Amino acid sequence: AQERYASLRDLPAQTTCGTTISLQMNAGLMADLPSIESSGADGVGLFRTELQFLVRNQMPKRDELARIYATVIAAAHGRRVVFRTLDIGSDKVLPYMKPNDEPNPAMGWRAIRVGLDKPGVLRMQMQALIRASGARPLTVMFPFVAEAEEFAQARGHVFREIHRERSIGHPVPEVLEIGAMLETPSLAFAPDAFFRMVDFISIGGNDLKQFFFAADRENERVRRRYDTLNVSFLGLIEQIINRCAVAGTPLSFCGEDAGRPVEAVALAALGIRTLSMRPASIGPVKSLLRRINLAEARAVIDEARASGAETVRPALMDWLAVQIE
């Protein structure tokens, strides 16, 4: 199987109906970088910057971070890299920060909430990203945005740092994209203006699913209780797809489900055109996508939904079994 996937590396994830899905990879450590070439990824759809903070025993300095980000950009050889700003708190606790004793850390002071309340680290990180990019394009994404105003504020910090870097004579990115992760259900219902303000949206399916079903992603007892292919969850995904389509907002999906072949087919059939996953999943997902017709997959999903099924998985699996015969 590994060899078969290797032979697919330079082929597009094009379905039999001619739609190409962009398959990107998730990364965060230097050890992930060789996979940008070897996996055949179209880019890095999610670079989890907190991992560089978690593997150290003290807060990294700006110049050190700038060197790390420059290495990542170089390894991508012109492919787009989506740098997600720090997502600490919740399950990701920095050893050198005073721990917050929170009753529900996953819903606590984490990610962009920390970045907005104590913007020093966010600003330092932005400076490092701008210096690493120089005049090349830069893509930044904020984690765990729950309302439009948080995004607007975070974006203001980026503009301020760009302005500051320019004023001291540093080159700044000629193309800048600023996006939001959609990983709290609230953001799916944000005002239209939010969808027009963001340059792109990436669905963080791990957190979105956890908060949609109120089922802790860290809790073995409930983690797998609700199916991603549950019709309610698919309805939410569909709503996000429609709102992005109306506003013309590029949309991707970067949770673990993007790398599961059956889930990937369902997401593509609903209309998602960019999936970001761990590098090892790119081969299996591409292999399946290349054998199916999305309109047919969509019809199978819609029929299962109309039949009153709780999840479309059995119907989709039966249909897929015939496709790969």
Footprint of Mg ion (CB under 5 A): 183, 204, 207
Helix (H, G, I), strand (E, B) or coil at 42: coil
- Residue of 115, 255, 279, 283 interacting with ligand PEP (CB under 6 A): 255
What is the number of residues in the chain? 325
254 binds, among ligand PEP, Mg ion, none (CB under 5 to 8 A by kind): ligand PEP
Q: How far apart are the first and last CA of the chain?
A: 16
Q: How far is the CB of 274 from Mg ion (least distance, A)?
A: 17
15 and 36 Cβ atoms separated by less than 8 Å: no
28 binds, among Mg ion, ligand PEP, none (CB under 5 to 8 A by kind): none
Residue closer to ligand PEP by CB (options 32, 87) is: 87
Tell me which stretch binds ligand PEP (CB under 6 A): 36-44, 154-162, 205-213, 218-226. 205-213
Q: How many CB atoms lie within 10 A of CB 197?
A: 17
Residue closer to ligand PEP by CB (options 60, 205) is: 205
Q: How far is the CB of 244 from Mg ion (least distance, A)?
A: 18
182 near ligand PEP, rule: CB under 6 A: no
309 and 297 Cβ atoms separated by less than 8 Å: no
Q: Could you tell me the two tokens for 6?
A: 């290797």
112 binds, among Mg ion, ligand PEP, none (CB under 5 to 8 A by kind): none
Residues that bind ligand PEP (CB under 6 A): 46, 48, 87, 183, 204-207, 254-255
